[in-house]
Amino acid sequence: MASNKKLLILAGDGIGPEVMTQVKRVITWFEKRQGLSFSVSDGLVGGCSIDKHGVPLTDETMAEAMDADAVLLGAVGGPKWDNLPFEIKPERGLLRLRKDMELFANLRPALVFDALAEASSLKTELVEGLDIMIVRELTGGVYFGQPRGIENLPNGERRGVNTQVYTTSEIHRVARVAFELARKRGRKLCSVEKANVMESGLLWREEVTKLHGEYKDIELSHMYADNCAMQLVRQPKQFDVIVTDNLFGDLLSDCAAMLTGSLGMLPSASLGAADANGKRRALYEPVHGSAPDIAGKDLANPLACLLSLSMMLRYSFDLGKEADLLDKAAQEVVAGGFRTGDIMAPGCTKVSTTQMGDEILKALDRLAV
Ligand SMILES: NC(=O)c1ccc[n+]([C@@H]2O[C@H](COP(=O)([O-])OP(=O)(O)OC[C@H]3O[C@@H](n4cnc5c(N)ncnc54)[C@H](O)[C@@H]3O)[C@@H](O)[C@H]2O)c1
Ligand SMILES: CC(C)[C@H](C(=O)O)[C@@H](O)C(=O)O
Ligand SMILES: [Mg+2]
Question: Each residue's pLDDT tens digit in the chain (369 positions)?
Answer: 446 899 999 999 999 999 999 999 999 999 999 999 999 999 999 999 999 999 999 999 999 999 999 999 999 999 999 999 988 999 999 999 999 999 999 999 999 999 998 888 899 999 999 999 999 999 999 999 999 999 999 999 999 999 999 999 999 999 999 999 999 999 999 999 999 999 999 999 999 999 999 999 999 999 999 999 999 999 999 999 999 999 999 999 999 988 998 899 999 999 999 899 888 999 999 999 999 999 999 999 999 999 999 999 999 999 999 999 999 999 999 999 999 999 999 999 999 999 999 999 999 999 997
pLDDT at 320: 96
Q: Which atom of ligand 2 is nearest to the CA of 250?
A: 11
Burial letters for 247-262: b for 16+ Cβ neighbours within 10 Å, e otherwise? Answer: bbbbebbebbbbbbbb
ipTM: 0.98
Residues lining ion ligand 3 (Cβ < 5 A) are 250
> How much of the chain is in helix, strand and coil states, percent to nearest 5?
50, 20, 30
Instruction: Give one DSSP letter per residue of 169-182, joined into a string.
Output: HHHHHHHHHHHHHH
249 lines ligand 1 (CB under 6 A): no
Give the CATH class of 131-259: alpha beta
Taking the centre of ligand 2 as the mean of its atom positions, its distance from the CA of residue 138, in whole angstroms, is 10
CATH architecture of 1-109+266-369: 3-Layer(aba) Sandwich (3.40)
Distances (CA, A) of 250 to 161, 194, 199, 225: 19, 15, 20, 12
Determine which helix (DSSP H) or strand (DSSP E) holds 273, and give its type and residue range. strand 269-274
Nearest residue (CA) to ligand 2, atom 1: 91
Among all residues, which ones are annotated catalytic? 143, 194, 226, 250, 254
DSSP states of 101-153: TT--EEEEEEE--GGGGGGSSS-HHHHTT-EEEEEEE-SSGGGTEEEEEEEE-
Ligand 1: residue of 21, 106, 246, 263 to mutate (most ligand atoms within 8 A of CB) is: 263
Residue 15 to residue 75: CA distance in whole angstroms:
7
Cα 254 to ligand 3 centroid, rounded to whole Å: 6
**Ligand number with the minimum distance to the CA of 254:** 3
- Counting ligands in written order, the one closest to the CA of 251 is 3
> Exposed/middle/buried for 190, CB within 10 Å: 0-12, 13-18, 19+?
buried
Which ligand has the shortest distance to the CA of 138? 2
Q: Which of 288, 301, 356 to mutate to test the pocket of ligand 1 (most atoms within 8 A of CB)?
A: 288
Residue of the CA atom closest to atom 38 of ligand 1:
291
pTM of the model: 0.96
Whether 289 has a binding-site annotation, put simply, is: yes
What separation in Å is there between the alpha carbon of 10 and the centre of ligand 3?
A: 18
Ligand 3 centroid–CA 33 distance in Å is: 35
CA of 76 to the centre of ligand 2 (A): 9
Q: What is the largest CA-CA distance in the chain?
A: 73
Residues within 6 Å of ligand 2 by CB: 77, 91, 94-95, 250, 287, 289
Q: How do beta strands 280-284 and 70-75 pair?
A: parallel
Handedness of CA 284, 286, 289, 290 (dihedral sign): negative
Query: So what's the pLDDT on residue 3?
Result: 60
Q: Structural domain boundaries of the chain?
A: 1-109+266-369, 131-259
Ligand 1 atom with minimal separation from the 81 CA:
41
DSSP state of 287: S
150 labelled binding-site residue: no
